[in-house]
Amino acid sequence: MHEMSYMIKFINMAEEAAAKQPDARISSISVKVGEMTGVLPEYLEKYFPEAAAGTRCEGASLHIESVPVTVRCNSCGNVYHPCRQNDYRCPECNSIEAEYQNGRELELSSIELA
Domains, the chain = 2-68+102-113 (3.30.2320.50)
Phi/psi of residue 49, each to 5°? -60, -40
Positions of E strands within 1-113? 26-34, 61-67, 70-73, 79-80, 98-102, 106-113
* More confident position, 75 or 2: 75
Strand order, beta sheet including 61-67:
61-67, 26-34, 106-113
53-107 pLDDT, tens digit per residue, is: 999 999 999 999 999 999 999 999 999 999 999 899 999 999 999 999 999 999 9
Strand partners, 71: 80, 100
Using pLDDT thresholds of 50, 70 and 90, give the confidence band for residue 1. low
pTM listed for this prediction: 0.85
